[in-house]
């Protein structure tokens, strides 16, 4: 006689996360035909399921765990024990499908579908996983479908539940065959607690923080040294700027002085131009006088030479001289 068991599901993980519905087909004792599909509706905060042993109570927990983490029950991967037996179904291939509707950490609905196929071989059952689908609410409320080809479904589910895979696997959806892990030996127990409390990640994070702190302290020392140099450059720049201002002020003063001197020099330059022009005229006049003086001296010399050649000076009048010259020219023409 089969005994009756009770399954209690406390399904409210937080103020937002809760399970709404889950449909199971072709998993464990659940048949693979459409009419065999079972839909489980979850209530808040507690769902009570009563049934005889072997009716599928544990399968519900296994399905929830598989949907949340992608982890199958112990021994399910080898031989396809998680999917409905093809021999029982009298078929060479059985498709197992689980669909889950729940609220994520933001309170928005999320639909997830995972599909497995068990194929009967000669001496064993081959199990393969088909493409998974997750449907979330978009920014404008429209449904957005993501497949396992586009994103890692397990990671998306962990993000939606808001807790780590270790907590989902070892605490929330712990299989009954593994529920006694708190009584396991020390090393295995420590490993479980490390996974649940992320101790290894915490130590790695601390080590990473120490490394970052060391690097930052080194960078700080370098930055302080650079600040010292930059301050020196800044002081030098301020001094140069002050010197530039002083030089520029002197330049402006000198420019004003030069402009004043130019104004004073303008009439002097005009006078010098006038004197230069008059001097040029005087030089021309002097050259002309020198030339005339030379001509005079030459004529006087010629006169002296002519006088020296005259043996007997003419004592007559000027008209008589002209008459003699005219007669002389006529005789020469003959």
Provide the pLDDT for residue 34. 87
CB 181 within 8 A of CB 175: no
Rounded to whole angstroms, the Cα distance separating 71 from 168 reads 10
Show the beta-strand stretches assigned E in 201-333: none
User: Could you tell me whether strands 38-41 and 143-147 are parallel, antiparallel, or unpaired per DSSP bridges?
Assistant: unpaired
Smallest CA-to-CA distance from 60 within 130, 8, 129 is with 8
Domains and CATH numbers, the chain: 4-187 (3.40.50.300), 198-334 (no CATH)
Smallest CA-to-CA distance from 32 within 112, 87, 73 is with 87
Structure-token pair, residue 280: 């040029």
Rounded to whole angstroms, the Cα distance separating 176 from 181 reads 10
Smallest CA-to-CA distance from 67 within 31, 21, 99 is with 99
Q: What is the pLDDT of residues 187-201, one digit of tens each?
A: 888 887 887 787 777
For the chain, residues with pLDDT lower than 70 are 1-16, 77-80, 150-151, 175-177, 334
Q: Tokens 């579908």: give the residue.
A: 113
Provide the pLDDT for residue 311. 73
Smallest CA-to-CA distance from 10 within 39, 40, 47, 50 is with 47
Q: Tokens 């907590």: give the residue.
A: 167
Structure-token pair, residue 269: 């330059």
Residue 173: how many other CB atoms lie within 10 Å: 19
Provide the pLDDT for residue 1. 46
Provide the pLDDT for residue 9. 67
Rounded to whole angstroms, the Cα distance separating 330 from 334 reads 7
Provide the pLDDT for residue 180. 80
What element of type H or E holds 255? helix 199-309
Provide the pLDDT for residue 248. 92
Q: What is the pLDDT of residues 207-248, one digit of tens each?
A: 899 999 999 999 999 999 999 999 999 999 999 999 999 999
Provide the pLDDT for residue 11. 60
């Amino acid at each position: 006689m089969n005994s009756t068991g009770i399954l209690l599901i406390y399904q409210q993980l937080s103020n937002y996360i809760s399970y709404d519905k889950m449909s199971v087909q072709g998993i464990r004792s659940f048949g693979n035909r459409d009419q065999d599909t079972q839909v489980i509706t979850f209530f808040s905060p507690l769902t009570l399921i009563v049934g005889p042993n072997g009716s599928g109570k544990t399968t519900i927990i296994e399905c929830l765990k598989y949907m949340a983490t992608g982890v199958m029950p112990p021994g399910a991967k080898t031989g396809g024990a998680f999917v409905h037996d093809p021999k029982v179904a009298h078929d060479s291939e059985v498709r197992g499908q689980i669909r889950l509707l729940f609220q994520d950490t933001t309170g928005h609905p999320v639909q997830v579908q995972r599909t497995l196929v068990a194929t009967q071989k000669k001496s064993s059952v081959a199990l393969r996983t088909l493409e998974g689908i997750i449907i979330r609410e978009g920014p404008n409320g429209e449904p957005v479908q993501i497949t396992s080809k586009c994103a890692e479904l397990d990671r998306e589910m962990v993000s939606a539940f808001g807790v780590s895979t270790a907590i989902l696997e070892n605490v929330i959806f712990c299989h009954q065959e593994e529920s006694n892990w708190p009584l396991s030996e020390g090393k295995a127990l420590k490993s479980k607690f490390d996974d649940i409390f992320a101790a290894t990640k915490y130590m790695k994070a601390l080590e990473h923080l120490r490394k970052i702190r060391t690097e930052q302290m080194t960078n700080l020392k370098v930055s302080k040294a650079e600040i010292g140099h930059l301050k020196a450059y800044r002081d030098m720049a301020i001094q140069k700027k002050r010197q530039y201002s002083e030089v520029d002020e002197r330049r402006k003063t000198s420019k004003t002085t030069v402009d004043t001197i130019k104004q004073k020099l303008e009439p002097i330059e005009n006078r010098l131009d006038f004197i230069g022009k008059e001097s040029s005229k005087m030089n021309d006049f002097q050259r002309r006088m020198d030339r005339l003086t030379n001509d005079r001296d030459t004529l006087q010399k010629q006169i002296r030479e002519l006088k020296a050649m005259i043996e007997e000076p003419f004592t007559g009048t000027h008209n008589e001289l002209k008459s003699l010259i005219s007669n002389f020219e006529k005789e020469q023409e003959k």
